[in-house]
């Protein structure tokens, strides 16, 4: 019988300061609505995952780490559930969890339940821990439960423009996703994609993508479902920063700009900006165009949004309607949402 316990937390401090011992990692908390959800995977999901892990052991032509196998067996149902909700391959989520948390045994994951190395970033109001990473004493997000980290990982990728290009990739193309994460600035390690791909192929994590895509397992084992839209709408602070980001995903450096001020404006770390723009130092110059997401274009283009017209777009960019039509070979004023228009 499926079980769910929903507890609305009165404040985040109480939740993060609880001394209650948790023996199951299948717990998740909506980090923005402060709602804590205890999830018990279905018996079918647990059975199928255990079967898949057993088959992986038999298929192995090389040494497989028992700790990593146990990690996969424990978290695969959760990764598949996240895949169904947010369209992020379970194989990628699991591989990142294995790599970033040392299969749940790293110092950072032990003190923060942060399995994906997600840093605090601008706007984070939850609990924090400080850990040496690319620099000494960097700020990382802290969670009460590991599963909350999985949920926040999904929200982190789906609510940031710089990862938008990933969601145009096929859900079973783990190689493209691994390379796309690096290109978007998720990690600074040049070998990051290769490491993810290695884990996926060695531990056959692609099996869990196939299970979801084929609908083999009903991983949606919550009796009370929290819709994606309901979760994302709580990201008010993130939305404010996203509105500041122009549709090209490019920032033109002004006289007083620094990488720090730009990172604060858009909620992107300095390191991520440097990775996206192949910068070796923090030196930038007035007039430079900095990419703020992996799919950004430095040419002047506009992506048509709901309720926009040629007239409203012409006013935004200081051109006439006729000039827009001429630049884009338009015969009339009809536009489609998502259409790409040249604006200069």
Same domain, 206 and 330: no
CATH code for the domain of 85: 1.10.530.10
Q: Model's pTM, two decimal places?
A: 0.59
> Which residues are paired to 128 by β-bridges?
141
The reply to whether 45 and 133 lie within a common domain is yes
Number of domains, the chain? 3
Q: Which of 211, 232, 253 is the last residue of a domain?
A: 232
Residues 253 and 162 in one domain: no
**Interval 5-37: pLDDT, tens:** 333 323 332 333 333 222 233 444 444 444 445
Residue 229's φ and ψ, nearest 5 degrees, are -60, -35
CATH (domain of 285): 3.10.350.10
Residues 92 and 188 in one domain: yes
The winner for highest mean pLDDT among 112-121, 198-207, 262-271, 334-343 is 198-207
100 plus 75 within the same structural domain: yes
Residue 144 reports pLDDT greater than 90: no
- pLDDT of res. 256: 85
Residue 16 within a domain: yes
- Per-residue pLDDT, averaged over 196-217, amounts to 90
Q: Which residues of 253-265 are buried (b: 16+ CB within 10 A; e: fewer)?
A: beeebebeebbee
> If DSSP codes are grouped into helix, strand and coil, which group holds residue 261?
helix
**Same-domain status, 8 and 152:** yes
Asked if residue 324 and residue 265 are part of one domain, the reply reads: no
Q: Do 309 and 250 belong together in one domain?
A: no
Structure tokens at 326: 């001429």
E strand map for the chain: 4-8, 27-30, 35-39, 128-131, 138-141, 250-252, 289-291, 301-303, 340-342
In the predicted model, what is the mean pLDDT of residues 272-294?
Answer: 83
CA distances for 139 relative to 100, 107, 112, 242, 300, angstroms: 15, 14, 11, 22, 36
Residue 22's pLDDT is what? Answer: 29
Residue 238 domain flag = no
Q: What is the pLDDT of residues 123-137, one digit of tens each?
A: 677 888 988 766 677
| Burial grade of 230 (CB within 10 A; 0-12, 13-18, 19 or more) | exposed
What span, in angstroms and rounded, lies between the C-alpha atoms of 90 and 103? 15
Neighbours of 223 (CB within 10 A): 11
The residue from 181, 200, 232 where one domain ends is: 232
240 falls within a domain: no
Q: How far is CA 107 from the centre of its chain?
A: 22
Q: Are residues 267 and 323 in the same domain?
A: no
**Range of the structural domain that residue 312 is part of:** 301-342
Are 139 and 262 contained in the same domain?
no
Same domain, 88 and 195: yes
pLDDT at 246: 53
User: What value does the mean pLDDT of the chain take?
Assistant: 76
Q: How far apart are CA 168 and CA 153, in angstroms?
A: 18
Does residue 239 lie in a domain region?
A: no
Torsion of CA 109, 150, 296, 283, to 10 degrees: -20
pLDDT at 123: 67
> pLDDT above 70 covers what percent of the chain?
73
d(CA 307, CA 45): 43
CA distance 301 to 250: 11
| DSSP 8-state assignment for residue 119 | B
Identify whether residues 263 and 186 lie together within a single domain.
Answer: no
Q: What is the pLDDT of residue 217?
A: 56
Domain end among 255, 271, 291: 291
């Amino acid at each position: 019988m499926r079980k769910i316990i929903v507890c609305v937390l009165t404040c985040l401090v109480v939740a993060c300061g609880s001394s209650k011992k948790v023996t199951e990692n299948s717990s998740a908390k909506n980090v923005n609505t402060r709602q804590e959800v205890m999830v018990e995977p279905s018996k079918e999901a647990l059975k199928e995952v255990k079967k898949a892990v057993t088959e992986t052991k038999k298929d192995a032509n090389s040494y497989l780490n028992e700790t990593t196998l146990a990690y996969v067996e424990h978290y695969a149902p959760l990764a598949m559930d996240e895949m169904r909700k947010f369209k992020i391959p379970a194989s990628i989520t699991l591989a990142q969890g294995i790599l970033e948390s040392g299969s749940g045994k790293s110092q950072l994951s032990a003190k923060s339940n942060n399995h994906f190395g997600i840093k605090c970033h601008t706007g984070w109001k939850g609990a924090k821990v400080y850990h040496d990473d690319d620099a000494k004493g960097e700020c990382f997000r802290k969670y009460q439960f590991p599963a909350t980290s999985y949920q926040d990982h999904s929200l982190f990728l789906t609510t940031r423009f710089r990862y938008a290009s990933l969601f145009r990739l096929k859900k079973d193309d783990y190689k493209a996703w691994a390379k796309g994460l690096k290109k978007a600035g998720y990690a600074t390690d040049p070998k990051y994609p290769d490491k993810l791909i290695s884990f996926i192929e060695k531990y056959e994590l692609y099996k869990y993508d196939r299970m979801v895509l084929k609908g083999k397992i009903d991983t949606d084992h919550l009796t009370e479902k929290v819709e994606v839209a309901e979760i994302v709408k709580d990201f008010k602070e993130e939305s404010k920063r996203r509105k500041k980001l122009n549709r090209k995903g490019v920032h033109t450096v002004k006289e007083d700009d620094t990488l720090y001020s730009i990172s604060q404006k858009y909620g992107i770390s300095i390191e991520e900006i440097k990775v996206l723009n192949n910068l070796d130092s923090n030196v930038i110059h007035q007039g430079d165009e900095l990419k703020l997401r992996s799919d950004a274009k430095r040419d002047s283009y506009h992506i048509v949004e709901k309720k926009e017209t040629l007239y409203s777009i012409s006013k935004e960019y200081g051109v006439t309607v006729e000039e827009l039509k001429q630049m884009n070979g338009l015969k009339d004023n009809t536009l489609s949402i998502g259409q790409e228009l040249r604006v200069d």
